Structure 1
Amino acid sequence: MNKLLFALTGLALLGGCAIIHKPAPSEAGIANPEAWQARRDTLRDFSDWSLQGRVATGQLLGWTGNLSWRERAPKFDVRVSGPLGAGGMRAHGTLDRVVIDTDDGQHFVTTDPDTLVKKALGWSFPLEPLSYWAKGLPAPGGYARISVDDQGRLRSLTQRGWTVSYLDYSTPAGAPASLPRRVVLDNGETRIRLVVDRWFDLGGAAGDAGAG
């Protein structure tokens, strides 16, 4: 009888162990690893989106203009235009084949878009990683430093020579999670301020980036 009781007790304990979930690994700078993991899982497949916003650089002779970004992964279409639509460029395609058209009529096809984008604009614009940073996620690969709040939202990230700071988030209609509204990017040479005025075409839903 004692052996049977012992065996049943052991089975019960094993059954209890089967439902124990391993906690998300902790990492310096991440206040709530579980919330961060859940947010990354939610946004990982968020690949259909569009935004309209404004960009400005903090250089001595600063540049201000508009940003339009349409993402249908793996394809994207990015337009940066200055006042009255002048002084910008368009980049579209996939990261394996990026087509860049400048306002002065030049046409390029490249697999290294950031170099040509800098040539077109006169200042650095991290096109490839910004596809991830715009959603509040790190780009693929390692990063030097990260800060994530209790809600699992990215607050700052140092990656690929840039420090990305998230000042504000909003929750547009149709979005799977809150999305960045005000972001600052700084690589020590160029400081870019990005304000998202509107997130839309979010997997077929439309919404504005209101305060959140």
Structure 2
Amino acid sequence: MRGCVGGVLLMVLLGGCQTLPHTTSPRAAPDVVDARAAQQQRTQALGLASGDCLQPGWAMAGRMAISNGKDAGAARFEWTQGEGRLQLKLTAPITAQTWVLQSDTQGAQLQGMPQGSQHGADAATLLRTATGWDIPIQALGCWMRAVAASEFGLGAAQIHFDGQLLPRQIEQGGWKIEYSRWQLDPSSGLQMPSRIDAQRGKSRVKLAIDRWGLE
């Protein structure tokens, strides 16, 4: 059943499959002490000092490309979260078919599947079971803001910085998250990633972010 459901989602997403542009940040060696201090200030400014990736409220939108070494697809996405709740909306190009993944302390729900709404204990497991895609949903709440997630369940993170003292790569839980382009977020006054490439084994998630904002 999972293969059938995942296949339906894949065929729709493939209608707009595309390669997201990739650029590299300057690689001048930063001062490690200064970089770590800057990252600590960044983490506090984003409200992520506790490592809770579902806090505080914020939103983003853009394009997502996913692959697992065998299949690949792309979609527009809208991510919103706040007060322990998360919603990820995926919209396929061409057909405009929509899937909505919601998660809170009570569990997760995936809407838009052929057989109706699907439910699970957590968002990442539900998405993997229903579609076959391995996307670290909760940790992305931190990684998309270029901050390490809580060590609980993922282990310690290694952060590599670029010449502007911004994270160039985060390694955590077997994932490597690379940041190749940045943009100023007017709502926070901080530089935020606009190109993100997360990979673990054959699983890969690429994000091109068009809009940041506070909820």
Q: TM-score, normalised by structure 2?
A: 0.71
Structure 1 spans left out of the alignment, 5+ residues: 1-27, 204-212
How far apart are the structure 2 equivalents of 1:30 and 1:121?
43
Structure having the higher Rg: 1
SS at match of 2:187: coil
How far apart are the structure 2 equivalents of 1:188 and 1:30?
31
Structure 1 counterpart of 2:176: 163
Superposed CA offset, 1:20-68 (max 9, x none): xxxxxxxx96652221111111112572211111111244432011111
Contact preservation (8 Å) 1:30, 1:36 = no
Letter in 2 for 1:177: L
Deviation at 1:195, TM superposition (A): 0.5
Structure-to-structure mapping, 1:33-182, within 5 angstroms: 33-44=36-47, 47-58=56-67, 59-83=69-93, 84-86=95-97, 89-141=99-151, 142-149=155-162, 151-182=164-195
**Kindly, what percent of the aligned residue pairs are identical?**
22
Contact preservation (8 Å) 2:148, 2:157 = no
Deviation at 1:172, TM superposition (A): 2.2
Paired positions, count: 174
SS at match of 2:61: strand
Deviates more, 1:60-69 or 1:181-190: 60-69
Contact preservation (8 Å) 2:79, 2:88 = yes
How far apart are the structure 1 equivalents of 2:203 and 2:156?
19
Structure 2 counterpart of 1:210: none
How far apart are the structure 1 equivalents of 2:42 and 2:173?
22
How far apart are the structure 1 equivalents of 2:105 and 2:176?
22
Structure 1 counterpart of 2:4: none
Cα RMSD after superposing both structures: 2.4
Deviation at 1:107, TM superposition (A): 2.1
> What stretches of structure 1 move > 3 A for 4+ residues in a row?
28-31, 58-61, 149-152
Letter in 2 for 1:35: A
Q: TM-score, normalised by structure 1?
A: 0.72
How far apart are the structure 2 equivalents of 1:38 and 1:144?
17
Structure 2 spans left out of the alignment, 5+ residues: 1-30, 49-54
